[in-house]
Amino acid sequence: MALPVNVRDIVRSSTKIREEREKPLRIAIIIEANAPDELIDAVRDRFRPQTAGAKLGLEVAEPGVSIGFHASTDVVIGLVGTGSGGLAGVLADAREQGLHTVAVGVSPRHIEVAERVGHPYADTVAAIDPLTAVDAELASWLVERLAGKRLALAHNFAFMRSAVAEEAIKATATQNALVGAVLFIPGADMPVMTLNQAKMLLQIAAAYGEPLGAERAKELLAVVGGGFALRAVARQALGFVPGFGWAIKGAVGYAGTLAMGKAAVTYFEQGGDFSNMARKAVEARDAAVRRLKDARAC
């Protein structure tokens, strides 16, 4: 079976993803002296750079004392205590310099933490449990705000992997839903969907620290492109419903891609490596499409 995607396209994508993963990072962590010890410990545990490309600065805020930030700083993370320890001024200085700045606190309400240091609510994260504040809230904020450094964050900090992978899955599934719904030229959607899926799996593999290269990209495409292609499944397994074929194809594109991504994440979370990741993902995609077929038959 001929592959629906040019191998060179996926090899180029692999090279680009590898370059994105290796981008330099510079993170400044500013601690308010009375910030909760559990929050400080959680941040110190999570922010342990895995490569020389990640620079991490750690300072304690003092009332009336300014802290200078390097021009290449990607993000300033402030650990909030009572709000009386000088952190408000430091965060304000960072905002004036146009730096991405986030306040992190232990509280059931984001707005309470934001008000302590006069920081924008949208750039404040909080939770009662310090680990949740970091692993869920801060990770999600970083994925949203530092879009161009997502893979570098995941490559350096293990707690970022799931959030980065989830964003790649959501974006690709949505894109393939649109591809399935709007491309009416016979066969035109299959190469686009297949390439999107292969890129998604490469991004997930990169987030989990797997080595990438031309041979791995070819290996991946052979499995994804040579398997149960989504467009063929949509046409053969579900059939064409007059007036609603576009909706079915969109649903197949979304559900199949989502299942692939979820399976890849689960595989890596359980300690798997690149070798069988694509096969597990394709099996999950095909199972999701069969479930759609069964649901339509009912």
Average pLDDT over residues 103-126: 96
* CA-CA-CA-CA dihedral for 140, 181, 264, 156, to nearest 10: -40
Judge contact between 171 and 157, C-beta under 8 A: no
- Structural domains of the chain, ranges and CATH numbers in brackets: 24-148 (3.40.50), 160-297 (no CATH)
pLDDT, tens only, 53-94? 999 999 999 988 889 999 999 999 999 999 888 999 999 999
Name the percent of the chain lying above pLDDT 90.
56
pLDDT at position 51: 94
Q: What is the pLDDT of residue 187?
A: 47
Output the six-digit token pair for 73: 């700083």
Q: What is the pLDDT of residue 295?
A: 64
Mean pLDDT, rounded, for 20-35: 96
Q: Give residue 254's pLDDT.
A: 83
User: Is the predicted pLDDT of residue 185 greater than 90, yes or no?
Assistant: no
pLDDT score for 85:
84
Both tokens assigned to 98: 């146009």
| Residues listed for the chain | 298
Position 20 scores a pLDDT of 95
The answer to whether the CB of 46 falls within 8 A of the CB of 134 is yes
SS3 per-residue string spanning 105-148: EECCCHHHHHHHHCCCHHHEEEECCHHHHHHHHHHHHHHHHCHH
Mean pLDDT within 130-139: 97
pLDDT greater than 90 at residue 22: yes
| Structure tokens given for 276 | 């069988």
| Alpha carbon distance 201, 284 (integer Å) | 13
3-state secondary structure of 30: strand
Q: What is the structure's pLDDT at 167?
A: 96
Where do we find the tokens 């096969």? Answer: 279
**Residue 227, pLDDT above cutoff 60:** no
Q: What is the pLDDT of residues 153-183, one digit of tens each?
A: 999 999 999 999 999 999 999 888 887 665 4
CA distance 202 to 211: 10
pLDDT in tens, 253-294: 788 889 989 999 999 999 988 888 888 888 888 787 777 666
Tokens of 148: 């161009």
Instruction: Return the pLDDT at 112.
Output: 96
Which pLDDT does position 181 carry in this prediction? Answer: 60
Mean pLDDT of all residues in 25-53: 96
Which residue type, as a one-letter code, is found at position 26? Answer: R
Note the pLDDT of residue 215: 79
**Which DSSP category does 235 fall into?**
I
CA dist 112 and 142 (Å) reads 20
Residue 235 has pLDDT above 90, yes or no: no
18: left (phi over 0), alpha (psi -120 to 50) or beta: alpha
140: pLDDT strictly greater than 90: yes
Mean pLDDT computed over 196-222: 85
- How confident is the model over 35-64, as a mean pLDDT? 95
Rounded CA-CA distance 187/96 in Å is: 51
pLDDT confidence of 188, banded at 50, 70, 90? very low
Q: What is the pLDDT of residue 180?
A: 65
Buried b (16+ CB within 10 A) or exposed e, 75-105: bbbbbbbebebbbbbbbebbbeeebbbbbbb
Amino acid at position 103, single letter: A
